[in-house]
Amino acid sequence: MTTRTPNHQLRDLVAESRLTYAALAKAVRAVAAECGVALRTNKSAVEHWIAGTTPAGDTGRYLAVALSRRLGRLLTLPDLGLADESSREDDSIGLSLGADPIEALIPMWRFELDRRHFLTTSAYSVAAASLPLSYVRDIADRTAAARTGQTVGMAEVAAVRDMVRVFSEMDERHGGQHGRSALVQYLRDDVAPLCRGRFRTEEIRQHMLSAASRGVHLLGWKSYDAGQQGLAQRYYLQSYALAVESGITGHDGFVMRTMAMQGLKLHRPEHCQGLAETGLNRAKGKVDAQTESLFHVVHAHTLAKAGRPQAALAEAGQAHALLTAAPGDEVPFWALAWGPPAASVYSRTAKVYETIGDHRAAAEQYARAAAARPAGTYARIVALDLVAGAEMQLKRGRIEQACATWNRAIDHMDGVRSARTRKAVTSMRRDLARFRARGVRCAVELDERATDLLTGT
């Protein structure tokens, strides 16, 4: 008969959390659901774990995330007394801000290319989301360090920007699942060595690190589009670290803005307002007006989520005013992650209105956002804005108008491989169910088209 050793580390952490075994089991199931996994974990399972049984599969990782969220600090499997000494996979990889972001990224890229399961199924970490808010680094110490490799000039920086732009356009046109491995290999094999090269000037070094940050940011976006939120967060953190090291004004704040957007989307608001406010303060009055508008509108969304509608609308109004303040100013490379700033401002303003319950205004802003992007280049995001607009129209009881907008959205989805677009279509079919049951013609026809899209027929 096998004798198990009680897991005192886990027992103490559960006691510290003050969660009942049933409540902890529920939290574990919720984390697993975020990763697309349905668990039946119950209080008996927690009792067995504390008695010394090892959770099956990825359940231990979900348990670590659940306790991390409850206790407000990052916990890994070894912290829970669940480490497998034969495993070389480090659950905390990418979830810290160390001395050299490239050192964190290289093993992440290796695991990505090896299709390591734990990275793609990792959950979003609330504890890690707060890291940029307290991240302090003495850049001077690092820039003084000796660097080896080739001499890098602006021609190399331009080449990296051009290549990242190509990958970005491919991503928007065809979805995040296209070209992902190629982007990983390009960043690992070409960009990482350039970041460690000798630079003709300090300014060139700054621009190279900023370009690398933009590439890693895109990789985070691709992971986000694939529904791999934990992995996306790890890439955003390392993109942020590269942006900080670059010293390019506003770039680090822009990544904080992205992290706030991710937290809002995942209904994890704990640090979103802090990230948005800090990002805005890093850029306000220091970047061009159009770029600054991007920071204001995300801050507006966090204010709306915090139950401050008037402040949210005022901040969104400031974003719109900035769009026309200096239209001729050049927008920096890193701020064009989602195309024209105006489209991003309209889309995020729509979310502000949606949050405060003004569905008419939200629908109008989603329509403006879709019209403001070149549809051929930004097929996926145009489709998603149209889907969101149709949802607002449906909330107002405009079923025929909503179906027409949904049909336009599907027009843009052909050839797009994206977990988000598939989820949007699945949700649309669910919203249409009651209208199909009543025989509403536009709903029946749209559902048939949606079914064909999902089945690939």
Mean pLDDT score, 41-57: 91
Q: CB of 154 within 8 A of CB of 207?
A: yes
- The answer to whether residue 30 is domain-embedded is yes
Specify whether 128 is located in the same domain as 209.
yes
Residues 410, 454 within the same domain: yes
Q: Does residue 259 contact residue 278 with C-beta atoms inside 8 Å? A: no
Which of 347, 366, 385 is the last residue before a domain boundary? 366
- The count of residues in the chain is 457
**Of 366, 391, 421, which residue sits at a domain end?**
366
**pLDDT band, very low/low/confident/very high, at 195 (cuts 50, 70, 90):** confident
Between residues 120 and 426, the one the model is more confident about: 426
Name the amino acid, one letter, at 396: R
How does residue 91 score in pLDDT terms, banded at 50, 70 and 90? low
pLDDT higher than 50, residue 136: no
145 in a structural domain: no
Please name every residue paired with 217 in a beta bridge, in sequence order, or none if there are none. none
Mean pLDDT, to the nearest integer, of 370-380? 85
* In a domain? residue 143: no
Average pLDDT estimate for 424-435: 93
**Alpha carbons 395 and 358: distance in angstroms, whole number:** 10
pLDDT at res. 318: 97
Mean pLDDT across 293-304 = 97
Give the SS3 label for residue 198.
Answer: strand
For the chain, the average pLDDT equals 85
Say whether pLDDT at 279 is over 90: yes
Q: Are residues 257 and 172 in the same domain?
A: yes
User: Lowest mean pLDDT: which of 253-262, 276-285, 432-441, 448-457?
Assistant: 448-457
Q: Does 108 score more than 90 pLDDT?
A: no
Question: Does the pLDDT of residue 291 top 70, yes or no?
Answer: yes
Same domain, 393 and 327: no
On whether both 257 and 200 belong to a single domain, the answer is yes
Return d(Cα 394, Cα 396) in angstroms, integer: 5
User: Are residues 250 and 300 part of one domain?
Assistant: yes
Q: Is there a domain that residue 47 lies in?
A: yes
Poorest-confidence range of 82-96, 144-158, 323-337, 406-420?
A: 82-96
User: Do residues 280 and 261 share a domain?
Assistant: yes
> Closest Cα to residue 29, out of 10, 42, 16, 44?
42
Would residue 106 count as lying in a domain? yes
Question: What is the sign of the dihedral through the CA atoms of 303, 365, 363 and 257?
Answer: negative
> For 9-18, 167-176, 262-271, which range has the lowest pLDDT when averaged over its residues?
167-176
Q: Are residues 38 and 179 in the same domain?
A: no
pLDDT band (50, 70, 90) for residue 44: very high
378 and 447, same structural domain?
yes
The pLDDT, as a whole number, for residue 95 is 66
pLDDT of 119: 57
71 and 133 share a domain? no
Residue 35 belongs to some domain of the structure: yes
Q: Are residues 318 and 442 in the same domain?
A: no
Secondary structure (DSSP) of 169-194: HHHHHH-TTSSHHHHHHHIIIIIHHH
- Which of 366, 382, 408 delimits the end of a domain? 366
Q: Which of 1-10, 236-245, 379-388 has the lowest mean pLDDT?
A: 1-10
pLDDT band at 416 (very low <50, low <70, confident <90, very high): confident
Q: Determine, yes or no, domain membership for 69.
A: yes
The phi-psi region of residue 72 (left if phi > 0; otherwise alpha if psi is between -120 and 50; otherwise beta) is left
Domain range for 350 is 101-138+152-366
Q: How many domains does the chain have?
A: 3
86 pLDDT tier (thresholds 50, 70, 90): very low
Q: What is the pLDDT of residue 292?
A: 96
Q: Is residue 413 part of a domain?
A: yes
Q: Same structural domain for residues 74 and 106?
A: no
Residue 300 pLDDT greater than 50, yes or no: yes
Query: Which pLDDT belongs to residue 99?
Result: 66
What's the CATH number where 317 sits?
Answer: 1.25.40.10
